[in-house]
């Protein structure tokens, strides 16, 4: 029995993800950001004061990885959090520098998010985003 690997949806998603990741990484480098750091800053912008554990879930990294990422972002002056108290979740927020960096990233994101940049029509881009969010929800 022969299979067509182009008909394997997860494999197509992986390949598309790698291709988009290369472009996304190169474009964000223009403003000094990496994709995972953009995700953290954008999530915190939408949800200031969230716990580091929830932030890790939102951007799909382990809590241990998030701790390391946050230490770097704190050292860079992009996020802040009060000293954790025993039994209290770590609340994280953007600093003014974090907001400024994210503000510089949005035009790059907008350019990359244009349907034509993805080889899609506006309706197709909306449908693809909706479908990918459904896949994310189903694979949580």
Beta bridge partners, 92, equal 50
pLDDT of residue 3: 86
Query: What angle do helix axes 9-29 and 35-46 make, rounded to 10 degrees?
Result: 90
Please answer whether residues 23 and 112 qualify as being in contact, where contact means their C-beta atoms are separated by less than 8 angstroms.
yes
Nearest to 78 by CA among 123, 120, 32, 118: 32
Alpha-carbon span 43 to 25, nearest angstrom: 18
> Using one digit for the tens of pLDDT, what is the confidence trace for 22-65?
999 999 999 999 999 999 999 999 999 999 889 999 999 999 99
Q: Locate tokens 């949800």: which residue?
A: 47
Alpha-carbon span 106 to 113, nearest angstrom: 10
Domains, in order of start, for the chain: 5-138 (1.10.10.10)
């Amino acid at each position: 029995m022969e299979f067509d690997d182009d008909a394997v949806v997860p494999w197509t998603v992986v390949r598309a993800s790698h291709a988009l990741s290369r472009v996304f990484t190169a474009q964000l480098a223009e403003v000094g950001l990496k994709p995972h750091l953009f995700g953290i800053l954008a999530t915190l912008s939408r949800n200031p004061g969230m716990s580091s554990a929830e932030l890790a879930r939102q951007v799909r990294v382990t809590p241990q990885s998030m701790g390391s990422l946050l230490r770097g972002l704190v050292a860079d002056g992009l996020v802040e959090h009060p000293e954790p108290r025993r039994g209290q979740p770590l609340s994280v927020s953007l600093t003014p520098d974090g907001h400024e960096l994210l503000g510089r990233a949005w035009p790059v994101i907008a350019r990359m998010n244009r349907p034509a940049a993805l080889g899609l029509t506006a309706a197709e881009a909306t449908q693809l985003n909706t479908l990918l969010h459904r896949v994310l929800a189903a694979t949580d």
